[in-house]
Structure 1
């Protein structure tokens, strides 16, 4: 049984989401899988964007439809991570970004949460009828490499992206 549950963000989790953002900024970490949370100055603007991006008809220009989830510890509803599932790939995502991005707050790392989050997200991909899922990570991010491989990721190649060398893995559902 999973320790975590994935839920769509809501106003109920505003304080936890903003504390999550603050923790990442203070640590100087990259907020992957958060639908650009770092780029919004208010929760309300970010929340409006993720709601728009849920559907093909309302997705913001230059983006693809995506579902952004909070990863909460089931018994306490504590936010430990965030994960973003892109419903389809554009040229950039096919090369460098993949279907799924995720992050785990620094205080909750090395507890297996990323592996569990990715596993739950793959179940959501099945519901979206995505049969082959591309997951990428920085070549030096050993924790993410292990997370992807533990979820059935098969290494395809290493490519150069704007932010460095990126490993590309495919997971067949």
Structure 2
């Protein structure tokens, strides 16, 4: 598997990140977490976007919460294999169907245990942000994500249909 670590976004990872993004685009799947949907071709602008709302003072409007993004770097290959977005607190929408942590592993890197490592590292990062108990939400039919969350200690609170029609399962994990 090699050494994996969460890194903060940087233009230094331009090529690796664009390859990560293109892998998602080619797959035709929904890209998660949401911050990965944004095109990174102007890497300086993209990295600035990722840091633009990482504290309460920087929030552009009501309804937003501060959030931090990390990339999962495979140190031996230099590949970005995953991304995670940590919301520092929850609003009503995130409490219902978004949670504290959103994460994804690029399609070409799945099935190798990377999601479990990324989630464990994300929980440590969440703890350092003052989050003692994190809410994680996955689509009700996403068996792989549910398995990863449960392995990390996730306890199912409920399953529901969100106000925008998504069927989700909500789990809490002690950080």
TM-score by length of 2: 0.91
Q: Indicate if the aligned counterparts of 2:16 and 2:78 stay in contact, CA closer than 8 A.
A: no
CA displacement at 1:77 relative to structure 2: 2.6
Q: Indicate if the aligned counterparts of 2:136 and 2:170 stay in contact, CA closer than 8 A.
A: yes
Match of 1:59 in 2: 59
Query: Structure 1 runs of 4+ off > 4 angstroms?
Result: none
Match of 1:100 in 2: 101
Match of 1:159 in 2: 160
1:130-157 deviations in Å (ceiling 9; x for gaps): 1110000001000000000000000000
Q: State the SS of the aligned residue for 1:110.
A: coil
1:112-131 aligned within 5 A = 112-131=113-132
- Alignment of 1:77 with 2:78, yes or no, is yes
Q: Which runs of 5+ in 1 are unaligned?
A: none
CA displacement at 1:34 relative to structure 2: 5.0
CA displacement at 1:97 relative to structure 2: 0.2
Q: State the SS of the aligned residue for 1:9.
A: coil
Greater shift after overlay, 134-143 or 76-85?
76-85
CA distance in 1, matches of 2:95, 2:133: 12
Q: Which runs of 5+ in 2 are unaligned?
A: none
1:4-153 aligned within 5 A = 4-35=4-35, 37-40=36-39, 42-61=42-61, 62-153=63-154
Indicate the RMSD between aligned Cα atoms, in angstroms.
1.6
CA distance in 2, matches of 1:148, 1:52: 28
Match of 2:3 in 1: 3
